[in-house]
Amino acid sequence: MTIVLGFEGSANKIGVGIIQDGKVLSNPRRTYITPPGQGFLPSDTARHHRSCILEVLHEALEEAQIQPKDIDCVAYTKGPGMGAPLLSVAIVARTVAQLWNKPLIGVNHCIGHIEMGRLITGAENPTVLYVSGGNTQGSLLLPLAPGIGYLGLKQ
């Protein structure tokens, strides 16, 4: 029964999810919203994430009804995404992993989307075209073995 605490903050949304063996136990999020007609700047987005990430973490733990001792590892979005928000979230994830003595796993944002799709649909070996604004990347994913993961070859 593996429990993973995951931090995501590659753009204007910050989220902390807790997963146990593929089941989502909690997934609270906050969104940085700018006035209509304005985009969001990386520095302002990072400031937003820093201002609420600990509150979102506490909310995730409460919603999942678990304690730090129950967590097996900490994951975070390593990229691609906006640099400043990614860095803010990575620092918190690394700090939590060190304080709670948990392994830390960096996750590719695009692969995370693909894996969530596989989890939701039950697809075992899908052919995927992932296109998402600034996060677009061409990759060839070769399955290593069921449940093991992929060998990723970027283009």
pLDDT tens, 34-61? 988 888 899 999 999 999 999 999 999 9
Residue 145 lies in a domain: no
Give the largest CA-CA distance in the chain. 47
Residue 137 lies in a domain: no
Please count the helices (runs of H) and the strands (runs of E) in the chain. Answer: 3, 8
- What pLDDT is stored for residue 52 in this prediction? 97
Q: What is the number of alpha carbons within 13 Å of residue 75 lying toward its C-beta?
A: 19
Residue 134 has pLDDT above 70, yes or no: no
Average pLDDT over residues 87-98: 97
Residue 150 lies in a domain: no
Q: How many domains does the chain have?
A: 1
Which residues 6+ apart lie within 8 Å of 134 measured at CB?
80, 81, 82
Which residues 6+ apart lie within 8 Å of 124 measured at CB?
118, 146
Residue 107 lies in a domain: yes
Residue 21 has pLDDT above 80, yes or no: yes
Residue 116 lies in a domain: yes
Residue 132 lies in a domain: no
Quickly state the pLDDT bin for 148 (edges 50, 70, 90).
low
Q: What is the CATH number of the domain that holds 71?
A: 3.30.420.40
Domain hosting residue 66, numbered range: 3-124
In angstroms, the CA 117 to CA 149 distance is 14
What backbone phi and psi angles, to 5 degrees, belong to 34? Answer: -100, 165
